[in-house]
């Protein structure tokens, strides 16, 4: 076997190993998760959200309904509602969105709303003020339980991710969330997506943080 062929085989093996250890990245725009009480106020008592399309995470979907976010300095229109309904309403925006609204928004893990600011949500002539729930979501990776071993990660771990985009970079402080109910994808917001030159199909590689 000549050296050229050996090198070609080695390169192909390395490429496949790298592809297997990479994760696909998705970019999420501003959106809201609504609880029953908020849905009743905005759309009418007993109203059921209308599924438009499924998302990558099982059971999660984008709805046909849209709302407006109203802050002290500005508004954000046509904000998508995600289903299904939640126990507590949560609004996720980027830091650029926060500037438009005129609100200082903390980076927080989804569902951890203690100490977060509120926001006004409107739909048509109806509106409601949330006392809390406005966040910039911490970048994170949903990891399917059976993929955790292959990726060598555990639930709650903080890692780095090297993104192979048009503008390659390394994201720090990426939260790992492992569940049998997940599909494996990393989620970033549009600010982060612009920073790495994101396009659909962009992938990244997990880098374990040194102790």
Ordered domains of the chain (ranges, CATH): 30-137 (no CATH), 139-207 (2.40.40.20)
pTM: 0.88
What is the chain's length?
Answer: 211
* The predicted structure's pLDDT at residue 47: 98
**Longest Cα pair distance anywhere in the chain, in angstroms?**
75
Token pair belonging to 56: 């990558």
What integer pLDDT is reported at residue 209 of this predicted model? Answer: 81
Per-residue CA distances from 129 to 45, 69, 120, 161 (Å): 17, 10, 4, 36
Report, as ranges of residue numbers, the positions in the chain whose pLDDT lies below 50: 6, 9-18
Q: Which residues are 26's β-sheet partners?
A: 187
**Distance (Å, rounded) from C-alpha 34 to C-alpha 84?**
8
d(CA 98, CA 106): 10
pLDDT given at position 14 = 39
pLDDT score for 165: 80
pLDDT of 166 reads: 85
- Per residue in 6-21, pLDDT (tens digit) is 455 444 433 444 455 7
Q: Of the candidates 85, 70, 79, which has an alpha carbon nearest to the alpha carbon of residue 33? A: 85
């Amino acid at each position: 076997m000549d050296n050229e062929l050996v090198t070609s085989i080695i390169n192909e093996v390395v490429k496949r190993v790298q592809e297997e250890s990479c994760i696909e990245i998705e970019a999420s725009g501003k959106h809201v998760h609504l609880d029953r009480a908020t849905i009743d106020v905005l759309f009418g008592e007993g109203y059921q959200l209308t599924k438009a399309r499924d998302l990558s995470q099982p059971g999660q979907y984008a709805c046909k309904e849209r709302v407006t976010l109203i802050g002290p300095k500005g508004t954000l229109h046509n904000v998508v509602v995600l289903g299904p309904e939640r126990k507590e309403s949560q609004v996720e925006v980027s830091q650029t969105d926060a500037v438009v609204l005129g609100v200082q928004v903390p980076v927080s893990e989804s569902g951890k709303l203690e100490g977060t600011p509120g926001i006004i949500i409107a739909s048509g002539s109806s509106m409601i003020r949330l006392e809390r729930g406005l966040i910039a979501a911490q970048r994170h990776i949903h990891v399917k339980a059976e993929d955790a071993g292959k990726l060598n990660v555990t639930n709650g771990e903080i890692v780095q991710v090297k993104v192979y985009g048009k503008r390659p970079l390394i994201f720090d402080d990426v939260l790992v969330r492992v569940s049998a109910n997940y599909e494996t994808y990393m989620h970033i917001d549009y600010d982060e997506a612009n920073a790495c030159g994101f396009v659909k199909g962009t992938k990244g590689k997990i880098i374990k943080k040194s102790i």
